Amino acid sequence: MTRLLVAGAAAVLYAPLLLGAPETAAPGLVGLLLAAGAIVTRWRWPATASACVFLALYAAVLSLGRGPVGLGPALGFGLALVVLLEAVDLSARLRAAVVEGPVVRTMLVRWLGLSAGVVVAAIPAVALAQTLARSLTDAVSPLLAGVGALGSVLVVAILVRRRVGGGGAG
């Protein structure tokens, strides 16, 4: 079941590349191959690398101006990144254990709660970003977007690492 979630998340992450800018579709196959490697091996590093590839290419699609710019697509993309990383992490921790309905339901409720929290946090962030975007030059914007994307991936990696390392309950 978790492998199916990873495959679905990878497909969702690949879709904007294919639809937004077809020239990013070929490099996006690297992300799909890394996600497939994570599904087969249940290792975390291919999933993290896949998430980085998808995030970098999504930023490229947005910078080309052909991607869906808006709160909804960005939140969907971010949620797909979280599902990809969390599902691989769950699969790696459980190894050969059978994951049945209650575990899957608990994870889905958790991801939906996370989604609701992100929506609540994103609304003021978007308002702040729009105000900030009016005052920035075109030369500074890609740099800030790259730093923000790197920061996002690092935060997710730190959270996954802490949970795996046993420091989850504080």
Dihedral angle sign, alpha carbons of residues 160, 146, 133, 9: negative
pLDDT at position 99, please? Answer: 66
Residues in the chain, total: 170
Give pLDDT tens digits for 46-64: 999 999 899 888 888 887 7
Q: Over 50: is that where the pLDDT of 77 sits?
A: yes
Q: Over 50: is that where the pLDDT of 168 sits?
A: no
Inter-residue contact 8 to 108 (CB < 8 Å): no
Percent helix / strand / coil, the chain, rounded to 5: 85, 0, 15
Give pLDDT tens digits for 19-42: 877 888 888 889 889 999 888 888
59: nearest Cα among 72, 74, 81: 74
Cα–Cα distance between 104 and 58 in angstroms, integer? 28
pLDDT at position 108, please? Answer: 78
Inter-residue contact 160 to 89 (CB < 8 Å): yes
pLDDT at position 166, please? Answer: 52
pTM over 0.75? The answer is no
